[in-house]
Chains A and B, each alone.
Chain A
């Protein structure tokens, strides 16, 4: 069974440009989460989808970030316009059930570098 995949693995853009990150969860997983780790800091929660609906987007830093999950399958996270402080690693995770004891499976992350 394929795990969570993320594309691209690494993106280098200039300040002011737009970048779109993609996450493909494990097939059949209704729950999809985005996290990010800004350089030197903790991994922080961004948002949670249940199918195509945003269950919790309290971790989204500002309105330059837009996440979508059309059709309840893959998700995209767009940063527009990108700022220097957006550099970091963006992780996606999925789980079959949203219960507290359920494991979230993480993807390899997308390393975003904003110059």
Chain B
């Protein structure tokens, strides 16, 4: 089984600020997969990014970037130049070798104009 901790329950920023969402996970698996999903007010879960455990290269995709550090079991997600439309609940979700997601409790992001 895996465990996920998203210590930030709620974050508020002003538009155009950068914001980093923290995620720390626990797993006994040697290979696993890490995802971030976004839940806007409409309710559905929207896929954002994914990373496998043997690839620690950090990347940037548009305004999104992530910092995966296996040594500290962290998979942090950063939004650059935040926008009001980024307001949502963000979930970090490792997935094990049996296709099960283990979701964190979510971080609610409020981006104010």
Contact = CB atoms under 8 A, between A and B. Distances in A.
B44 A42 contact: no
Interface in B88-109: 91, 93, 95, 97-106
Contacts of B52: 100-101
Which bracket fits the contact residues of A? 20 to 34
Given A106-B45, A108-B43, A109-B44, A100 B99 contact: yes
Contacts, number: 63
A45 interface: yes
Nearest to A9: B43
Interface in A53-108: 56, 59, 89, 91, 93, 95, 98, 100-101, 103-108
A101 B105 contact: no
A43 B91 contact: yes
Interface residues of B, number: 27
Contacts of A35: 101, 103
Nearest to B97: A100
B43 A109 contact: yes
A104 B95 CA distance: 11
Interface of B: 4, 31-33, 35, 37, 42-47, 50, 52, 91, 93, 95, 97-106
User: Nearest 7 A-B pairs (CB), nearest first?
Assistant: A106-B45, A43-B103, A108-B44, A108-B43, A45-B100, A42-B103, A100-B33
